[in-house]
């Protein structure tokens, strides 16, 4: 295992990022109280001790990363990124991981455990994440007021609060379902992702101007009883045509650590094989690649350096893996905000400055011409 001596992205003596912002994508269920079903399966939600959580979750990956020249993918290697934090037990589900994530059945002012939320924000801050994209599922009870409440909790939890961005991950059943959901939800969130392993849905998402990120790894959880669950994962096909379309439309492809964390053996190897075949195709056309934890629960969180090591394991260079958690998410969010504000009309057409409609302005324009 080779050690890399490149300078860290953050000054260890300061909590402030130098000079980049770093991003993680998590689900709203991370901050919500457990449902009775999930609580009975996994026990009561533990009070998060920051120090012990950091020690167990970070492992030994904070300074060194996995040797990118190694092509073998074993359970021991991925577990070195995972640390010794046990997988968090989720409730039963017949749909995606979003739908299966634990949340309160009835919304109320007590839907959040304030101390738990502040502990999670402190942990994310210690993991060097300056920005969080907070995903919710379609039909979730998580509201705009809940989002505002979490922003205030973040400010209370850390000296330099994380910037929260609203996000939505669509898991469409068909191409027509994707079209209707994009039309309905695009203007309501800062960041919109599509998760599907269906070739037609991936192609349609790549052609859409409303999509920010495509995750071609679909996950479905099946209840095994007694609080256990089985995770079924499938990886969608990516060809050169789709990669070229995504690059032209400035749409990123994203890969979350969650399905790798929750699978083992042959199932995990198949996910790695499918994703590692995509990476060269995406890189050939300069498609932005984003890495994130995709954590629906606190024990699924991983630090920035773990995600960088994860990227190298997938075949990215160390520089590209760093961009996957820093530069690319930031650029996509900034571009989307320009579009939603009306400053960017289309690719290559952007309003730089408004001119007052008066005679002086037109006279100045005539003189310049």
What is the chain's Cα-based Rg?
Answer: 21
What size, in residues, is the chain? 369
Asked, for residue 9, whether it belongs to a domain, the answer is no
pLDDT at 316: 96
pLDDT at 283: 96
pLDDT digit of tens for each residue in the chain (369 aa)?
A: 444 444 444 443 444 444 468 999 999 888 875 433 333 333 333 333 434 443 444 443 443 333 333 344 556 666 666 653 433 333 333 333 333 333 322 233 446 777 888 888 888 888 989 999 999 877 777 888 888 888 888 777 666 567 899 999 999 999 999 999 999 999 889 999 999 999 999 999 999 999 999 999 998 877 666 666 677 889 999 999 999 999 999 999 999 999 999 888 999 999 999 999 999 999 999 999 999 999 988 889 999 999 999 999 999 999 999 999 999 999 999 888 887 777 666 666 667 665 555 555 545 545 555
CATH code where residue 176 lies: 3.20.20.140
Asked, for residue 11, whether it belongs to a domain, the answer is no
Asked, for residue 27, whether it belongs to a domain, the answer is yes
Our separate counts of H helices and E strands in the chain read 15, 11
251: Cβ contacts below 8 Å, ≥ 6 apart: 205, 206, 208, 211, 212, 213, 214, 287, 288
Asked, for residue 6, whether it belongs to a domain, the answer is no
**Cβ proximity of 230 and 221 under 8 Å:** yes
For residue 220, give both structure tokens: 């479905």
297: Cβ contacts below 8 Å, ≥ 6 apart: 29, 30, 88, 90, 101, 102
pLDDT at 76: 61
pLDDT at 362: 47
Asked, for residue 18, whether it belongs to a domain, the answer is no
Asked, for residue 15, whether it belongs to a domain, the answer is no
**Cβ proximity of 218 and 234 under 8 Å:** yes
- 276/26 Cα distance (integer angstroms): 23
Q: Which of 51-64 are b and which e, b meaning 16 or more Cβ less than 10 Å from the residue's Cβ? A: eebbeebbbebbee
pLDDT at 86: 35
Report the domain count for the chain. 1
Asked, for residue 1, whether it belongs to a domain, the answer is no
pTM of the model: 0.73
138: Cβ contacts below 8 Å, ≥ 6 apart: 168, 170, 171, 181, 185
pLDDT at 15: 45
- 134/123 Cα distance (integer angstroms): 15
pLDDT at 315: 95
CA separation, residue 45 to residues 9, 30, 34, 41, 42 (Å) = 33, 11, 7, 11, 8
pLDDT at 282: 97
Expressed as residue numbers, the domain containing 313 is: 23-368
CA separation, residue 177 to residues 97, 183, 200, 219, 265 (Å) = 18, 10, 12, 18, 34
- H or E element at residue 219: strand 217-225
Asked, for residue 312, whether it belongs to a domain, the answer is yes
Q: What is the DSSP letter of 329?
A: H
CA angle in degrees (0–180, nearest 5) for 199-205-206: 90
pLDDT at 356: 56
pLDDT at 295: 92
Residue 363 burial (10 A CB sphere; 0-12, 13-18, 19+) = exposed
């Amino acid at each position: 295992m080779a050690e890399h001596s490149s300078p860290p992205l953050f000054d260890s003596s300061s909590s402030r990022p130098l000079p980049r912002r770093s991003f993680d994508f998590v689900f709203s269920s991370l901050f919500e109280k457990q449902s009775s079903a999930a609580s009975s399966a996994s026990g009561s939600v533990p009070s998060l001790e920051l120090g012990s959580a950091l020690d167990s979750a970070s492992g030994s990956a904070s300074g060194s990363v996995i040797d990118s020249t190694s092509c073998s993918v074993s359970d021991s290697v991925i577990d070195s990124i995972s640390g010794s934090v046990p997988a968090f037990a989720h409730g039963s589900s017949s749909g995606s991981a979003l739908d299966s994530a634990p949340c309160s059945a009835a919304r109320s002012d007590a839907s959040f455990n304030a101390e738990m939320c502040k502990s999670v924000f402190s942990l994310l801050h210690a993991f060097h994440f300056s920005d969080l994209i907070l995903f919710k599922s379609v039909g979730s009870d998580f509201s705009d007021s809940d989002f505002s409440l979490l922003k205030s909790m973040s400010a209370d939890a850390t000296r330099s609060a994380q910037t929260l961005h609203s996000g939505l991950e669509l898991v469409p059943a068909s191409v027509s379902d994707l079209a209707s959901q994009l039309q309905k939800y695009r203007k309501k969130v800062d960041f919109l992702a599509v998760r599907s392993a269906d070739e037609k849905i991936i192609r349609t998402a790549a052609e859409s101007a409303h999509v920010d990120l495509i995750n071609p790894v679909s996950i479905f959880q099946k209840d095994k009883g007694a609080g256990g669950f089985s995770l079924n994962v499938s990886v969608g096909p990516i060809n050169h045509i789709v990669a070229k379309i995504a690059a032209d439309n400035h749409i990123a492809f994203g890969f979350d650590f969650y399905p790798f964390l929750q699978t083992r053996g042959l199932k995990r190897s198949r996910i790695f094989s499918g994703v590692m075949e995509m990476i060269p195709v995406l890189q050939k056309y300069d498609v932005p690649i984003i890495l994130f934890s995709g954590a629906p629960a606190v024990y699924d969180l991983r630090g920035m350096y773990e995600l960088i090591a994860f990227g190298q394991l997938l075949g990215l260079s160390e520089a590209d893996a760093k961009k996957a958690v820093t530069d690319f998410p930031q650029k996509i969010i900034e571009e989307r905000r320009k579009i939603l504000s009306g400053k960017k009309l289309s690719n290559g057409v952007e309003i730089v400055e408004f001119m007052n409609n008066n005679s002086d302005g037109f006279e100045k324009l005539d003189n310049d011409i």
